[in-house]
Amino acid sequence: MKLLKLIMPNVLKIWLITLGITLIVSLFNLFKMSDYLFIVGAVAIGIAVMQLYVKSKKSKNPLEIDKLGLGALIYSGLCFASSFLIAYLFVM
């Protein structure tokens, strides 16, 4: 719980910045914004998996929680959830 309190504010700031950037890049087209957020979530999953894999290989304790990997997993979940909500609530 202490680790989540440390990670969540930074992840939420990055997620809000990502929402703003994708809104500008998609030229206020919510369908494209949903697609961009899905792609960003997929890239974040790849980063999280690689980071957790590298950390488990380097660490003597494989059960140690990696802050960057956990943050990337939470961020990807936020991106996927926002992509889903934008696609089904605003586009459809």
Q: For 3-49, write each residue's pLDDT tens digit.
A: 888 899 999 999 999 999 999 999 989 999 999 999 999 999 999 99
Integer Cα distance of 92 and 6 in angstroms: 36
Could you state, in order of their start, the residue ranges of all structural domains in the chain? 2-91
pLDDT at 82: 96
Task: Write down the pLDDT at residue 91.
Answer: 75
In angstroms, the CA 70 to CA 76 distance is: 10
pTM check: above 0.85: yes
pLDDT at 20: 95
pLDDT computed for residue 19 by the predictor: 94
Q: Is residue 62 predicted with pLDDT exceeding 70?
A: no
